[in-house]
């Protein structure tokens, strides 16, 4: 392992929610939850204000609403997030040719390979400069971890949150790791954590004390040996630059077999959303949706469906995965589920599969009540079923950008009963006023997101139509 802390891990703080707060002045300092607003929606990101109320990512949206009823609930704007991510990744590539993105808001960087750092002092200087540059370019905060390995750099960035920098001095790693929970180590999820706990092991130090033979006995050769090495602070994994992928997939193994068919459907929908997030982070779309099911008897089934063209629409992937599930018998129980996308293309053919918008994560349709209720001066929007919106009327997703011919740029707070409520403000403005319109008002149109930081020419004042 290295003798200098020249591996950097960057993790943007509450990325989606922070971007929405930066874009919407009236939401700054308030609880914001971004995710799917439909009946099966889950939280993608919660602001730190919402986290204090108990809301966290991957939580069912219904549970989040019970914990934080006055939070702002918004659907994601992946176009904006991708644009910000590209700005951040460009800053990272100025530091080194070895940049390993993990998602839209997270990446490893090998500073040594870039020749910008070879000791503790130079690594710290690079980390502080990077944080300042990210704030200048995007207006957002990112936390930086520096260490001699990828595992420790990621742990350091987690300890640095929010908006901080943490460097782990080489030689102090084992002492630092010893009191930490076993869940701190990569590859230790709920199932492995419970297995270790039943064996009397709850901290990283106890893993080291147990010895490799005991870990192998508990977890098997590969997993046990790898975990023991990590507990000794040994991690030789290199930072791997981006390389072309042939597929993108996610899967989960369950400690207890799932028998409830409704829960199986919900898990497949959640995995489809996670898969699309990874797909978009890689800048790809795909044509073939793959479902993987490992049943109670360890038999593994795969089903696939090839679409008419490439997509990165979460609703489309979710619908295809649901159709594939209908052909699989899960009566005896399910121990693993996975959703993947293959046949990757450079990017998506926009609106090719608009039929899947009904419960789409990105557009948030299927729940008309996307109202923000805590913002000062906000008009509360009554909940309404889809049928209460006039036939043929446009759908307005909570959080998305709009432009009005008279009032200018704003964003949708909520809609229902044939009305849409809009707050008129932009990233650089003061908190704006709220106005309500008919959903079919011809002067109200969808718009593209505005930059969070105005370019020198003042382009942020523009509000281009979508």
Query: What's the token pair of residue 153?
Result: 């750099």
Contact 367, 41 (CB under 8 A): yes
Strand-strand pairing, 433-438 and 419-424: antiparallel
Report the b/e string of 403-420 with b at 16+ CB within 10 A.
Answer: bbeebbbbbbbbbbbebb
Q: What are φ and ψ of residue 432, in 5° steps?
A: -100, 175
Residues 11 and 27: their CA atoms lie apart, in Å, by: 22
Contact 442, 420 (CB under 8 A): no
Residues in the chain: 466
Q: Is 106 a catalytic residue?
A: yes
Dihedral of CA atoms 128, 134, 139, 140 in degrees, nearest 10, equals: -80
Spatial CA neighbour of 307 closest among 256, 263, 341:
341
- Per the listing, tokens 């392992």 go with 1
Query: What's the token pair of residue 369?
Result: 């009540």
Kind plus residue range of the DSSP H or E element containing 17: helix 15-23
The catalytically annotated residue of 49, 100, 106, 425 is 106
232 secondary structure, DSSP code: T
Kind plus residue range of the DSSP H or E element containing 99: strand 99-103
Spatial CA neighbour of 407 closest among 435, 429, 427, 428:
435
Number of alpha helices (DSSP H) and beta strands (DSSP E) in the chain: 14, 17
Residues 339 and 110: their CA atoms lie apart, in Å, by: 31
Contact 49, 29 (CB under 8 A): yes
Spatial CA neighbour of 2 closest among 271, 233, 186:
233
| Contacts with 235 (C-beta within 8 Å, 6 or more apart), sequence order | 1, 149, 150, 151, 152, 229
- Positions marked active-site: 106
């Amino acid at each position: 392992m290295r003798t200098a802390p020249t591996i950097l891990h960057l993790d943007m703080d509450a990325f989606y929610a922070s971007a929405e707060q930066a874009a919407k002045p009236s939401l700054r300092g308030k609880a914001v939850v971004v995710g799917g607003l439909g009946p099966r929606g889950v939280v993608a990101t919660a602001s730190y204000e919402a986290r204090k109320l108990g809301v966290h990512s991957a939580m069912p949206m219904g549970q989040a609403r019970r914990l934080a009823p006055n939070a702002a609930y918004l659907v994601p704007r992946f176009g904006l997030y991708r644009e910000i991510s590209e700005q951040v990744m460009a800053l990272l590539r100025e530091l080194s040719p070895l940049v390993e993105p993990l998602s839209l808001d997270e990446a490893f960087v090998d500073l040594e390979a870039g020749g910008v750092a070879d000791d503790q002092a130079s690594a710290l200087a690079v980390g502080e400069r990077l944080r300042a540059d990210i704030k200048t370019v995007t207006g957002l905060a990112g936390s930086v971890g520096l260490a001699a390995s990828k595992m420790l750099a990621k742990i350091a960035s987690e300890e640095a949150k929010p908006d901080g920098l943490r460097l782990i001095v080489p030689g102090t790693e084992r002492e630092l790791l010893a009191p930490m929970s076993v869940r701190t180590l990569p590859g230790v999820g709920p199932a492995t954590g419970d297995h270790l706990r039943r064996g009397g092991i709850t901290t990283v130090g106890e893993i080291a004390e147990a010895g490799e033979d005991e870990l192998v006995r508990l977890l098997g050769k590969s997993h046990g040996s790898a975990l023991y090495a990590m507990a000794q602070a040994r991690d030789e994994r290199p930072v791997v630059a981006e390389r072309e992928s042939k597929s993108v997939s996610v899967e989960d193994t369950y400690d207890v077999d799932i028998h409830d068919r409704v829960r199986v459907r919900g898990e497949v929908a959640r995995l489809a959303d996670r898969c699309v997030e990874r797909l978009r982070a890689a800048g790809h779309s795909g044509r073939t949706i793959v479902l993987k099911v490992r049943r109670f008897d360890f038999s593994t089934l795969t089903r696939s469906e090839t679409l008419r063209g490439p997509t990165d629409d979460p609703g489309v992937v979710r619908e295809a995965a649901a159709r594939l599930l209908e052909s699989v018998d899960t009566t005896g129980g399910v121990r693993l589920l996975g959703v993947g996308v293959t046949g990757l293309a450079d990017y998506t053919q926009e609106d090719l599969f608009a039929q899947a918008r009904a419960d789409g994560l990105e557009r948030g349709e299927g729940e008309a009540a996307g109202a923000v209720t805590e913002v000062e001066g906000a008009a509360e929007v009554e909940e309404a079923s889809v049928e209460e919106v006039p036939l043929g009327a446009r759908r307005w997703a909570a959080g998305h950008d709009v432009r009005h011919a008279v009032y200018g740029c704003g964003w949708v707070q909520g809609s229902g009963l044939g009305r849409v409520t809009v707050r008129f403000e932009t990233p650089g403005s003061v908190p704006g006023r709220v106005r309500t319109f008919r959903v079919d008002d011809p002067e109200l149109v969808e718009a593209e997101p505005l930059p969070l930081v105005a370019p020198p020419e003042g382009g942020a004042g523009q509000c281009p139509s979508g």
